[in-house]
Chain A
Amino acid sequence: MSGETEKLIRIEGLIFSYHHEDGTVADTVIDNVSFDIEKGSFTAIIGKNGSGKSTLAKNINALLLPAGGAVYVKGYDTKDPEHIWDVRQTAGMVFQNPDNQIVSSIVEDDVAFGPENLGVDPAIIRQRVDNALEAVNMGKFRNKAPHMLSGGQKQRIAIAGVVAMKPECIIFDEPTAMLDPKGRREVMEIIKELHEEGITVILITHFMEEAAMADRVIIMDSGQVKLDGTPQEVFSHGKELKEMSLGVPMAVELAMRLRDDGIDVPADVIDTEKMVEFICQYR
């Protein structure tokens, strides 16, 4: 396979700025960012509020258009109005607030909304809706009203709505920020499963524990990419992360302390499971 075809998303020197109401001054939110996303990968983008991570996500989905540089999704320039629907169908998006992205008062009708917009044949929509609801374990709730569901369930419906559009990539914009721990676990479980089924996942989050599940972590701060690598590589920069007001998972913190104490903890100990495995070697 050639390297070119594997790259689902290419971001080249992206610059984005919001204009003030008077139209004169502008805040640069994204400042010359470039990276590629490979097909089938799982990338976590981390940064504190105002770091530009959500703005970046919206640029990939053509909800926002670059002020400078370019974003290509499956080869389509997001600025090209001809292909805007191809871009959005390829790279679906799930937002933070589960309530404010569900259109219909019946679960299955909401899931059908995307495919309907794409003009898919009714019989195929039916099939896709059923499959998507099964994929998020919400088949039983197809006829329920969204406001009767828990936050985690609502967010899974929102995910099903995107899955039914058959995207190659799903961008999750802080999907668990408003959920309780149970909802958070449910949603992360679904994200993992979707990735295993071959969907390219971009997860915007500020939870380091969630980032540990990805195979690539990008740290953003003041509109720029500060760190980019595997979770191991990124978490090994503990001090820099703290300077950017980001924490590290407990296991990483503990591993760092143990290394300072002279214990040779391998670099891949980045979550509790691996830490437990490591300690058990001394049993």
Chain B
Amino acid sequence: MAGVDWEKAYHDLEAHIENIMRETSELVNNASPKLRLNKIFIEKENTLNVIIDATGDKMEYAIDLIDRKGKIETIKTGYGKSNTFNFDIPSGRYTIRAYAKEEKTNARVYDNKSVNYKKVTGDE
């Protein structure tokens, strides 16, 4: 039984490898990043400011702001292009549920963060 000519086959395959690498590089460079929510940034001023940091392709953002004592009704912002939200709310303990979704696929991620908000007024 004759054997496989591995050397000949290898040289042919080697001619492929550079192309495989180049095209894989194109694929990776053009690929949409995987959707993920990186961090929720909070700034406590005279408003509660929330910034959603997320990675993905053409994203929209939304927040549900839940008063943990139920004094004010939950605020649902709905999805929009901006990742920054300002809430003029009384001091209190809140849960922030931050969402990011991709416009094209409707894929969605979210995360929760608790905040003890004390309104900072101009007099302070």
Report if A and B associate in a common complex. no
